[in-house]
């Protein structure tokens, strides 16, 4: 850690949602993240472990043009135990999520599962093996 910039962690991540209703349904119902709070219909926070994952509609504090739906904007990785990657894939498939790349043991020491949210962002469930 740089003593002049005492940053100790990432507390929350904001996804600028291009399809707020679909994204809220996906993260809250499909992935089952508990709702932490809703500050407005344009800002919703879910609890993911010790962190918050916020969905925000573009055009608030930052008014950059949003990339088209389906355009990759970010990748999030969620860690589970090695034995849980395959069961997560099965649950997601049962819930209608298209698995981009099924449980795969990677050469860098991770078992990975890739899929996308409704806006096209890449999500990964992984385990260290």
Q: What is the CATH number of the domain that holds 98?
A: 3.10.180.10
Whether residue 81 is found in the same domain as residue 55: no
Whether residue 80 is found in the same domain as residue 128: yes
Examine the fold and report which residue of 36, 60, 84 is the final residue of a domain before the chain moves on. 60
Q: What is the arithmetic mean of pLDDT over 39-62?
A: 92
CA distance 32 to 24: 10
- Is residue 27 within 8 Å of residue 117, measured between CB atoms? yes
Q: What is the arithmetic mean of pLDDT over 10-22?
A: 94
pLDDT classification of 84: cutoffs 50, 70, 90? very high
Range of the structural domain that residue 97 is part of: 75-129
Whether residue 26 is found in the same domain as residue 54: yes
Residue 59 is predicted with a pLDDT of 79
Whether residue 46 is found in the same domain as residue 80: no
Query: In this model, does residue 118 exceed pLDDT 80?
Result: yes
Whether residue 81 is found in the same domain as residue 127: yes
Q: What is the arithmetic mean of pLDDT over 97-108?
A: 96
Kindly state the percentage of the chain with pLDDT values over 70: 100
Residue 2 lies in a domain: no
- Is residue 114 within 8 Å of residue 124, measured between CB atoms? yes
Average pLDDT of every residue of the chain: 93
Domain count, the chain: 2
Query: In this model, does residue 53 exceed pLDDT 90?
Result: yes
Which DSSP string corresponds to 91-120?
HHHHTTPPEEEEEEE-TTSEEEEEEE-TT-
Query: In this model, does residue 70 exceed pLDDT 80?
Result: no
Whether residue 89 is found in the same domain as residue 127: yes
**What pTM did the predictor assign?**
0.90
CA distance 17 to 107: 33
Query: In this model, does residue 71 exceed pLDDT 90?
Result: no
């Amino acid at each position: 850690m740089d003593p002049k910039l005492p940053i100790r962690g990432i507390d929350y991540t904001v996804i600028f949602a291009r399809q707020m209703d679909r994204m809220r349904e996906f993260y809250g119902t499909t992935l089952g993240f508990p709702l932490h709070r809703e500050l407005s219909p344009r800002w919703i926070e879910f609890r993911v472990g010790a962190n918050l994952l916020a969905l925000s509609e573009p055009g608030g504090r930052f008014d950059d043009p949003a990339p088209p739906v389906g355009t990759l904007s970010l990748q999030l990785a969620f860690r589970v135990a090695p034995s849980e990657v395959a069961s997560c894939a099965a649950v997601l498939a049962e819930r209608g999520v298209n698995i981009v790349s099924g449980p795969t043991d990677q050469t860098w020491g991770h078992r990975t599962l890739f899929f996308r949210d409704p806006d096209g962002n890449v999500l990964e469930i992984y385990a260290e093996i």
